[in-house]
Amino acid sequence: MRVLLVSGTLKGRDFFAHLVQEYGRQEVLCAQDGKEARETLSKMEIDILIIHAPLPDEFGEALAEYASRNSYCGMIVIAKNDIDERLAVQIEAAGGLVARTPLSKAAFRQTFRLAQATRNRMYGIRDENRRLSRRLEDMGLVDRAKCTLIQVLGLTEPQAHRYIEKQAMDMRISKRQVAEELLKTYTEE
């Protein structure tokens, strides 16, 4: 698991990096401000983002919103107990967990596990979205291939559908592969 720890102080980075290492073998990357964190998020997949607020260049809510839009990581924002409630709501709306200091090791561990669970759920959603997108692409290709069969061979829609299904069964390939071959055969000039 890859953890990005963002803190404006070396003491904060060391403290939270040590805590994270206690929970298993994590790859811990560090950033000292929001700008550096955004660069890291844009270059690689991060599993957990920990923001020790405030950062030198921002509080951290904008970074949480950026991470929410551009990654699937679980997020923890560690802030002082007197954090403005509007900022906390903004962070939570972006999908981040707000942990208030002083923070015990047990509370941090629980928050870290919640962030892991959030990340796992987000990865599941991402994978499901990819699977559904692929199915939609497949359906689009098959529909284009059916239209081509209707136009070129004069088949009806049910006949074209049956033709593609039968080819897929006989050749033991997917309907997508049959559709791709049909489109190559009948649309190339």
Q: Is a pLDDT exceeding 90 seen at residue 188?
A: no
Q: Tens of pLDDT along 136-162? A: 999 999 999 999 999 999 999 999 999
CATH fold of 133-187 reads: Arc Repressor Mutant, subunit A (1.10.10)
What are the respective helix, strand and coil percentages of the chain, to the nearest 5? Answer: 65, 15, 20
Position 23 scores a pLDDT of 82
Cα dihedral 15, 16, 20, 26 sign: negative
Q: Tens of pLDDT along 46-73? A: 999 999 999 999 999 999 999 999 999 9
Q: Is a pLDDT exceeding 90 seen at residue 25?
A: no
Q: Tens of pLDDT along 83-142? A: 999 999 999 999 999 999 998 989 999 999 999 999 999 999 999 999 999 999 999 999
Half-sphere exposure of 149 (CA within 13 A, CB side): 21
Confidence of residue 187 (pLDDT cuts 50, 70, 90): confident
Looking at 3.40.50.2300, 3.30.230.10, 3.40.50.720, 1.10.10.10, the CATH number of the domain 2-103 comes to 3.40.50.2300
